[in-house]
Each structure stands twice: as C-alpha cells, then as structure tokens.
C-alpha cells in the first residue's frame, strides 16, 4: 500500500491525516494495514452508531478485536475495544481528553459522519483536533462523506482520498488512493492502486 507507506514516511509526530473512504472494505483494509505495520490504534468513537459499527466489524471481519478507545456521545457497550471512558454533551472534551494515555500512539477518529444524525456539530471534532493532538501522536480522522472534507481539510497536514476502481469484481475490490499534501509553492498529489479480496484480508497488491 504505497500511499500509506509514503504518508508514514513523510509524517512527523503531531501531524494529522484526513482519510476519505468510499466503503467499509477500504476502511477496514487500511486500518488493518496501519495497525499491523505501525502499531496499535487508539480509537475515538463518536456516537452509538460508531460502536455498533465496531461491534459489527469485529464479529464479521475479525477486526478490530482489541485496543483501547474512548466514546463520545455514546452509551452502547463495545464488545471488542477496551473503553477507557465515555463523554457526553456536557463534558469539556478538550480538558478530559488531554488526561488520557495517548502519548506515542496512533489515534483514529471514527464515526464523525454520524454526528449530524444526533444533532451534533462538526465543530466538536475540530475542537478535539486543535486542543488534544500533540507532538507525541499521529491523528487519523476517518470519514465517508465527501462534504466534510472542506470543513476538516484546513486542520490536517495530509489528505488521502480512496475511490473504488471500475476494475472491481465479486471476488475482489480495487481502489485508487490519492494523496494530497502542501508543499512549498502549492499542493502535490500522488496516487496508486491497491486490491483487497472480499474477506478484507491483505492481498498481494498491498
């Protein structure tokens, strides 16, 4: 998975990566790859829907099956991740999250797309990014809704957009990963194609 390797080679501690996915398959494949190659993930789960999704993924695809997490605006039980804490709408998220043991870890924000379903504002996510990320972490914000890109992009150092290729069949799926990042004099973009099978296991294309 050349694009992911390129990002982790260029990124420094404290950087933030925004990732847009077209479906669950690409999301799971990329998260599996990152965890296997770069260390355990610390999950920030937004709303009960994100916990329902994690429970579904763990049962159906056997990922994730372990790891630490916190839940924001959620009350459901997470069957596969160790929930260290849960925060509601009245919580001071910035202050609370700064006390969590997330130093030297890859932090994944998942479930942002569901915020508007519950009447919450995307500004809460921006507040977390601005006030909680530090020089000891790499933050990955995962989204499935392209409309959120413009709002979140200014707060990230890299933007990776996954798109499903036409060369997709029942037994496997092919995706194009495009990386955009700021360089002196403008914006650079590189891309590559990778393949995953229907079981969401690593394929030779990774």
- DSSP-derived letter for residue 68 is E
Torsion of CA 94, 49, 67, 81, to 10 degrees: 120
pTM of the shown model: 0.89
Give me the pLDDT at residue 60, please.
Answer: 93
The Cα 49–Cα 197 span in angstroms is: 26
Q: Has residue 202 got a pLDDT over 60?
A: no
Closest listed residue to residue 63, CA positions, set 90, 33, 85, 89: 33
Task: Calculate what percentage of the chain has a pLDDT beyond 70.
Answer: 88
CB–CB of 170/198 below 8 Å? yes
Q: Is the pLDDT of residue 204 over 80?
A: no
For 2-161, CATH number?
Answer: 3.40.50.11570
> pLDDT tens for residues 97-114?
777 777 778 999 999 999
Cα angle vertex 68, ends 66, 70, to 5°?
Answer: 130
pLDDT reading at 165 higher than 70 = yes
Gap between the Cα atoms of 161 and 184, Å rounded: 21
Average pLDDT over residues 156-165: 91
Q: How far apart are CA 36 and CA 164, in angstroms?
A: 23
């Amino acid at each position: 998975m050349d694009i992911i390797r390129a990002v982790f080679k260029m990124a420094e501690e404290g950087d933030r990566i925004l990732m847009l996915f077209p479906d669950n398959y690409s999301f799971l494949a990329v998260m599996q790859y990152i965890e296997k190659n770069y260390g355990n993930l610390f999950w920030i789960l937004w709303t009960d829907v994100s916990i329902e999704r994690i429970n579904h993924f763990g049962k159906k695809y056997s990922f994730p099956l372990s790891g630490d997490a916190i839940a924001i605006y959620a009350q459901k039980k997470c069957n596969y991740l160790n929930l260290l804490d849960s925060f509601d709408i009245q919580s001071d998220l910035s202050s609370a999250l700064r006390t969590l043991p997330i130093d030297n870890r890859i932090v994944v924000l998942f479930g942002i797309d569901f915020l508007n379903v519950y009447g919450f504002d995307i500004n809460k996510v921006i507040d977390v990014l601005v006030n909680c990320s530090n020089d000891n972490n790499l933050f990955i914000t995962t989204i499935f809704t392209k409309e959120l890109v413009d709002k979140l992009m200014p707060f990230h150092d890299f933007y990776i957009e996954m798109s499903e290729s036409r060369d997709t069949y029942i037994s496997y799926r092919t995706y194009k990963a495009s990386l955009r990042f700021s360089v002196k004099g403008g914006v650079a973009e590189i891309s590559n194609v990778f393949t995953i099978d229907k079981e969401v296991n690593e394929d030779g294309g990774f």
